[in-house]
Structure 1
């Protein structure tokens, strides 16, 4: 796909002096000017964002770091039809700041936006079929260009990575409207990096596959590849989800806040034992209530003991039914619960109770119990770099896997 970035910036057009692009505000304006008119669809700059009306896409760049020879630009990209916001971080280096920002913008356009354009312009994607929780789902997969740096293999076709990862990626599809996969690998001498993120969550298993591919590269020089897969569910098979979109996200956050405060207020065993029923009444969503009760303690424990590798799956055992193995990525609520809880912590939504809530959740987790048992048996350093298998969650008979 051809991208047009050969245009004069606004300062060249009006003969005004070049701004100091090491100033984040000036750098942001330069990024907006660079992207405007290069997105393969009509767009307009609205304040500090770009809006593409035909596709309802909003792009919000943010300058994380900028200096005389380097820049790191974060891009928050959203559209109501996706059911989620997407995030991409692009770095650039150059002989000056302008060139570094241009490299970052080019990386965003030539890879990330290439996949978005394919998806939104109605191009033909690869058809996929899956089943989750007994329901069929149909998808189209769109592969971006590869952005390569250094002495990397000379190819723009991301299919080499799609072919290696497709089988495992498909296992992680649930009922998402859109699944967003990022692949990054690099090699410099014997230093090898491989990372595969699904909906911005790193998969250790898939990252290992990517790292093994980088091991085959020439070890003498720095090289890197970055590519994206956008896997969109066909509207006919999308099941309704109560917390989709920005409004749904805010509703979910408020329910998580309520659940955490009710947990904190359960001061004795009797109150804790009745918490699931009380949560179901307060939240008006029995499935979410059960997930808050079961998942939030483990989510806090995983965050606290981050040197451990945790299973990407969970076992769910609804009463009277057989256990079901699900990838966390498949569950509509698992990672949104994680993100909602920690966004509330960061914003100070729990006031002075925040640290107590965090510690109490950790103390109630199965992960903490396992770690304590292992440390008691083998010493305090026993869990360093360890691996924990999937947890089993007992749920009521009416629990809905979604």
Structure 2
């Protein structure tokens, strides 16, 4: 047993080892440990923790979860306060064990609570699973469906053709300060967060309190059409697109990008998405104080206009993750960042407002910029 003095002296890397051993002991499941990862065969699940912070009264642990039954990595950031370092760390660990991991257990046991159907680019059938709710502090009584009842009519609008989508709800109230957050595949959905904030504002609490819950939408194999690329492949495609874009100097160069990139990656639909999405993703990063709705319009040819949410498009958030990773880690995207912003529709709106009206809309926190994407008439949305 590690005593308080030993624990306080432990480095972050040692805390990871300590955490993995704790999880192994508390799970009461067969486990395998290798390279800072714990594998749970019954769940087909690999858990890789990364302790980001563990000071005298706060702990932050990132968990990266993988399963060969999913089509994406699941990420959970578990943060907690405590009276001392060990309690804060234990509470962050407990938030993981008694929160998201309970939902994964229900998935492994096929204990779904509802079936739903969606019609994005075809018919899709889903099973919905939920985790237990983790509550901290001064909170009202908890019911298992309290958050699902708020978001259940909206969630189908954010599902595309994924195999698995995970939804995180986190709410908190501290006096008049209210937090309502809903993330889909770790992307914050402001519209859903607003619904949760409205609910939390009705709490009759006198000090800090919070609740967290996860939902998992798992598509039936009978309606699922697997997407042909994973995140590693998408990074390579973003790099290919950036290399071609770097050489563009004339209008003809830009007009030929779809053909050049389509030939290179052998997928013209994805080539159009890379060319359309990367500039706007860069602009959103470059002007973070502007609000960018999740809903976008896609024009296919001259007549067909589709209103979709970004989370429904198979490639969108994979492209965004690859772009941000490449900028953060000094790849070619870092040098092309401002060049991409310069050709974005977002920058055009900002520039026109400043040049024609003398208004800097980047300083107005109520600014909302919606984007319409133009695709060729032969483009296929996935």
1:275 aligns with 2:254: no
Match in the other structure for 2:347: 368
**Structure 2 match to 1:6:** none
The alpha carbon displacement at 1:96 in A equals 2.9
Partner of 1:4: none
Question: 1:39, CA displacement in angstroms?
Answer: 3.3
- TM-score, scaled relative to structure 1: 0.90
Specify which of 290, 294, 305 is matched with residue 312 of structure 1: 294
Report the Cα distance in structure 1 between the residues aligned to 2:30 and 2:156, rounded to whole angstroms: 33
What residue is the counterpart of 1:171 in the other structure? Answer: 157
Say which of 47, 52, 69 aligns to 1:81.
69
2:139/2:205 contact within 8 Å kept: no
Aligned to 2:379: 399
Residue of structure 2 in register with 1:34 after alignment: 22
> How far apart in 2 are the matches of 1:166 and 1:211?
16
Give the corresponding residue for 1:204. Answer: 190
Contact kept, 8 Å, 1:22 with 1:68, in 2: the verdict is no
Shift of 1:160: 0.9
Residue in structure 1 matched with residue 123 of structure 2 by the alignment: 136
Contact (CA 8 Å) 2:43, 2:105: kept in 1 or not?
no
* Pick aligned residue for 1:152 from 131, 139, 147: 139
State the Cα deviation string for residues 132-160 of structure 1 (Å, max 9, x = none): 11x11000111111111111112151x11
Instruction: Find out whether 1:290 has 2:272 as its counterpart.
Output: yes
1:325-364 alignment, distance < 5 Å: 325-350=307-332, 354-355=334-335, 357-364=336-343
Note if 1:390 corresponds to 2:360.
Answer: no
1:48 to 23, 31, 36: 36
Q: Which has the higher mean CA deviation after the structures are superposed, 361-370 or 68-77? A: 68-77
Deviation at 1:40, TM superposition (A): 5.6
Extract unaligned runs of 5+ from structure 1. Answer: 1-8
TM-score (norm 2): 0.95
Paired position in structure 2 for 1:323: 305
RMSD: 1.9
Q: In structure 2, the residue corresponding to 1:186 is in which secondary structure?
A: strand
Q: Distance in 2 between matches of 1:41 and 1:265?
A: 54
**Contact 2:361 2:367 (8 Å CA) reproduced:** no
Change (3 A) 1:91 1:312: same
Provide the secondary structure at the position in 2 that maps to 1:58.
Answer: strand
Q: Does 1:303 align with 2:289?
A: no
Q: 1:93 Cα deviation (Å)?
A: 2.7
CA distance 1:327–1:212, change in 2 (3 Å): same
CA contact (8 A) 1:61 1:74 kept: yes
Superposition pairs of residues 120-131 of structure 1, within 5 angstroms: 120-131=108-119
Q: Distance in 1 between matches of 2:275 and 2:83?
A: 53
State which drifts further: 120-129 or 31-40. 31-40
Which range moved further: 372-381 or 272-281?
Answer: 372-381
Q: In the alignment, which of 214, 217, 220 is matched to residue 206 of structure 2?
A: 220
Flag the 1:39–1:121 CA change in 2: closer, same or farther, 3 A: farther
1:114-137: CA deviation from partner (whole Å, max 9, x where unpaired): 11110112223310111111x110
CA contact (8 A) 1:147 1:156 kept: no
Q: Given that residues 140 and 204 in structure 2 are in contact (C-alpha distance below 8 angstroms), is that contact kept between their aligned partners in structure 1? A: no
CA distance in 2, matches of 1:318, 1:19: 59
Matching residue of 2:219: 233
1:186 deviates by: 0.8
Q: Which runs of 5+ in 2 are unaligned?
A: none
